[in-house]
Structure 1
């Protein structure tokens, strides 16, 4: 069941490690803190590589995962198209913690202005570089930043916007679509 090199987690404790020794019903692990500890088999659970999100992000690993459900060729092609489209959409997190190292000394007015100016720069960049869609993550909060974003975005004729995908972002994001002018 357990092999040397397997990543494991200890049940009922916040300890993870790698199996270094297997003896009957006892397993010795090296914890992430470099301690050697021995547990009974029933106290450990193997951490599958598939629980690591980076494993799924690699397209080569996606091909290796065997699906229990057989998909039709049409469904597979549609999934690949959607994956390509969704992968290239720029997302910008406007939470103040993502914009500055230290927010101490900034008033609410300063924070809102910084967030709005950041959003405006991203919109201008998207228009200039003909990026068709961007997403702003603003959070739910009291709705002040969202209202400011809506006010700013309404000033652009070539822009339409809506709440972003609820399943992916909840209520805290806005999708911005830039209509491309084909005639110059």
Structure 2
């Protein structure tokens, strides 16, 4: 087994996260954030070595890899022909932070929030397809990456091209979708 008692884990295809409480022959019992001990197969779990929010605190903007990525993206942008909408900066931006989507998030569980964000994203993708909008930038934030992974699944269902949005403009928390 690759898990130890006390390891932080995420459950694939779910918003459940917690710590490994027990290990049996074929089951890993996870103590979730609500205090429930739930059994999972090892293949259903992802080990979390460091929280994404803590990781972002240590991100160095002068990092060699980020600088190389920035140069590569800038070089690619110069060489591609831009549509009129892109030329004049008409790109649809959708902020998926829950504070932008609802008046109050009190009483909403993490699953409710995620579902609201995904419903909004799905609606905006359909709107862009119907109205022939060439690009959407979804601002999702850094967080722990759950929303980002679910957005990627949504984009794969529509067979859309997507990549990290401009680091200079949005930082690490946005994805650009091209139709």
CA distance in 1 between counterparts of 2:129 and 2:138 reads 15
Q: Does 1:88 align with 2:90?
A: yes
CA shift for structure 1 position 82: 9.1
CA distance in 2 between counterparts of 1:97 and 1:153 reads 23
Deviations 1:56-102 (A, max 9, x none): xxxxxxxxxxxxxxxxxxxxxxxxx9996252001010000000010
What RMSD in Å do the two structures reach over aligned CA positions?
A: 1.8
Unaligned runs of 5+ in 1: 1-80, 179-184
Unaligned runs of 5+ in 2: 1-82
User: Residues 112 and 87 from structure 1, CA distance in 2 versus in 1: closer, same or farther, beyond 3 angstroms?
Assistant: same
Q: Does 1:176 align with 2:171?
A: no
Bigger relative contact order (CA 8 A; separation at least 6):
2
User: Residues 86 and 147 from structure 1, CA distance in 2 versus in 1: closer, same or farther, beyond 3 angstroms?
Assistant: farther
The number of residues matched between the two structures is: 97
Partners of 2:161 and 2:178 within 8 A in 1: yes
Equivalences for residues 16-31 of structure 1 within 5 A: none
Secondary structure of 2:94's match?
strand
Question: Normalising by structure 2, what TM-score?
Answer: 0.52
Secondary structure of 2:163's match?
strand
Corresponding residue of 1:137: 139
1:103 maps to which of 98, 102, 105: 105
Corresponding residue of 1:128: 130
